[in-house]
Each structure stands twice: as structure tokens, then as C-alpha cells.
């Protein structure tokens, strides 16, 4: 939760997705009704693979949300395990977790009666995937033993993270910069649906600069959410090859988790993304419904996954 001195939040980003609910015997990728590519209509197929990224806010107000994510994840994983792609094969999925913070230095100017400036120097994951709880690599795969319990353990990322929540930039760092330097290399697959889940009780404060000055009355950032829509479009080559789910505050609200701020920028990000995106309220007090809605969105995106040569 963001304070007058800085900002706190929690965002979860996931990367991957496929087909609505659990569907059997449904072949949307061919047959007489398949789209005619020669006529200029892009063909579609049910995706075979899913790369799922959770971007989790690890600021001081997120302990209850992380615990609820962990307790609800086994049901989420059960649906993934039951989902069948073409030829009756199980979905080939991967799961990764990062947090909303990055290394950043800035000056926080406090309003009266304090009228002072605080130098802030915060550390974050910079998009690196978390490897904990006995994980053999920086992500989990369907064939790994105890995927549900390992992910539930890893989802408790702690509450000592940066007070400036940058979930959108964190996902870019994870899927671009940390791929380039080898930290997260090997996770992304060209033929997989990328699904990113963001979980936070604050709005996005993504910015790429450093050594800036911030006051309580200033906007946290002026970088437009559309920049990250364009990032994902460029990364995957087509809007239909990625999907996202945001779980945050629709307005300033309260629940058994505590207070949440209105996540205006994250709502804009979802609106700009379109059909393959969904926004759910963190103030429901239980993440089970939001996770199910995320899965429904991802599986629907999987069923219309574009086949790009």
C-alpha cells in the first residue's frame, strides 16, 4: 500500500493460456468451417502450449493476498491439468513468478507540515523469476512433481519489496531484459499463448527513469499504459497470441485483505488490450473467482490462437 513517503503494492503477472474452461472433443482449428487463409482471413487453432507469468506485488500490505493466492492455486492448477488440446493431449504449460519492484533511486518530497525530502533507494527483482521452494529452474512445468504445492509455496514472495509498484514494467523486464541477459532465458516459447496475471492493491507506477523527484500531488508516472500493450504485441507478433488478467482495485475499496487503491492505469491497460484481457476486483476478499475468470479468459484466447507462419 502506498504511503505519503512512497508506494506499496502487489501485482501478479502470468504468462500463458489456452481454451475456455475444460473442453473435450472440440476442434476449432480445422474442418470445413475453418477460415480461408487464401481469402485473406487469418486461420486459427487451439493452442498447444501456455506460458503463464504471475506478477505479484511484494510490498508491505500484501501478506493476506499472497496467502489467498497460495490457497486457491491448487484448483487453478487442476483446471490447467484437465484441459485437453487437440488429439486429446494435455496442455503443455509453464508457470513463473516475479514481483512488482525494481532497483530504483528517487527523492520523495513530503508535504507540510513535514516539508522535507527523503532520499529513497529501493531494491527489487527487476523482472527476475523467483526460484524457491525446491524449484529446479526459474519456472515450473506441467511434468514437474507437486506443481500445485510448489507454486503455492513460491507465491508467498514476502512483503519487503519496493514501495513503488511497477507491475507493467516488471513484466517487460521479465520477458525482455531478463531474457536477453540469460536470467529467464528459455521460458518463452514462440508457439505458446503468453498469459500474464497481475495482482496488486495499488495502481501501476511503471517508469523507466531513475533519480527522479516525486511529490504526493504528482502523478506517479506519465508513461501511458498503451506502451505495454504495444510491447506485448511486438513480443508475440499478434494481439491474439497473448492474454492478461488484472486483479486490483476497481475503485478505492476495502475487504478482509485491507484497503486497495483505484487501479486506474491497470484498468486502462485491460481496456486497451481488448477481448483477451479481464479486470477483477481484489476487494472480493477471496481470489478464487478472479483466478477462475482469468482462466476463462486465457482458455478462450487459446481457442482462437492465431496460426502465424
Query: Using one digit for the tens of pLDDT, what is the confidence trace for 123-176?
Result: 999 999 999 999 999 999 999 998 999 998 998 888 888 888 999 999 999 999
User: In this predicted model, what pLDDT tens digit does every residue of 194-250 receive, in sequence order?
Assistant: 999 999 999 999 999 999 998 878 888 999 999 999 999 999 999 999 999 999 999
Question: Based on the structure, what is the number of domains in the chain?
Answer: 1
Structural domain span for residue 87: 43-304
Residue 16, domain member (yes or no): no
Judge contact between 86 and 29, C-beta under 8 A. yes
Residue 20, domain member (yes or no): no
| Residue 21: pLDDT over 80 | no
Query: CA nearest 247: which of 285, 203, 197?
Result: 197
pTM score? 0.84
The chain-wide mean pLDDT, for the chain, equals 84
Residue 35, domain member (yes or no): no
Residue 262, domain member (yes or no): yes
| Residue 96: pLDDT over 60 | yes
**CATH number of 261's domain:** 3.40.50.410
Measured at the CA of 56, the angle between CA 52 and CA 62, to 5 degrees, comes to: 150
Amino acid at each position: 500500500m502506498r504511503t505519503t513517503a512512497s508506494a506499496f503494492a502487489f501485482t501478479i503477472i502470468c504468462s500463458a493460456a489456452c481454451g475456455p474452461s475444460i473442453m473435450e472433443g472440440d476442434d476449432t482449428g480445422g474442418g470445413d468451417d475453418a477460415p480461408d487463409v487464401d481469402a485473406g482471413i487469418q486461420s486459427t487453432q487451439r493452442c498447444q502450449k501456455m506460458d503463464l507469468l504471475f506478477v505479484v506485488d511484494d510490498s508491505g500490505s500484501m501478506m493476506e493476498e499472497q496467502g489467498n493466492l497460495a490457497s486457491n492455486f491448487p484448483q487453478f492448477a487442476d483446471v490447467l491439468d484437465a484441459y485437453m488440446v487437440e488429439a486429446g493431449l494435455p496442455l503443455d504449460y509453464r508457470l513463473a513468478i516475479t514481483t512488482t519492484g525494481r532497483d530504483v533511486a528517487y527523492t520523495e518530497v513530503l508535504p507540510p507540515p513535514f516539508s522535507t525530502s527523503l532520499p529513497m533507494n529501493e531494491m527489487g527483482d527487476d523482472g527476475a523469476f523467483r526460484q524457491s521452494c525446491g524449484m529446479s529452474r526459474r519456472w515450473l512445468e506441467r511434468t514437474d512433481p507437486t506443481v500445485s504445492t510448489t507454486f503455492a509455496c513460491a507465491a508467498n514472495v514476502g512483503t519487503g519489496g519496493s514501495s513503488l509498484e511497477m507491475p507493467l514494467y516488471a513484466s517487460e523486464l521479465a520477458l525482455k531484459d531478463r531474457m536477453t541477459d540469460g536470467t529467464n532465458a528459455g521460458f518463452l516459447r514462440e508457439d505458446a499463448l503468453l498469459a500474464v496475471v497481475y495482482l496488486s492493491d495499488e495502481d501501476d507506477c511503471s517508469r523507466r527513469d531513475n533519480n527522479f523527484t516525486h511529490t504526493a500531488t504528482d502523478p506517479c508516472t506519465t508513461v501511458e499504459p498503451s506502451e505495454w500493450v504495444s510491447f506485448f504485441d511486438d513480443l508475440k507478433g499478434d494481439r491474439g497470441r497473448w492474454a492478461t488478467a488484472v486483479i486490483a482495485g476497481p475503485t478505492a475499496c476495502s475487504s478482509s485483505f485491507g484497503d486497495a487503491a483505484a487501479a486506474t492505469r491497470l484498468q486502462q491497460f485491460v481496456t486497451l488490450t481488448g477481448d483477451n484481457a479481464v479486470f477483477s476486483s481484489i476487494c472480493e476478499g477471496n481470489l478464487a473467482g478472479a483466478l477462475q475468470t482469468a482462466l476463462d479468459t486465457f482458455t478462450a484466447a487459446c481457442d482462437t490462437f492465431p496460426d502465424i507462419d
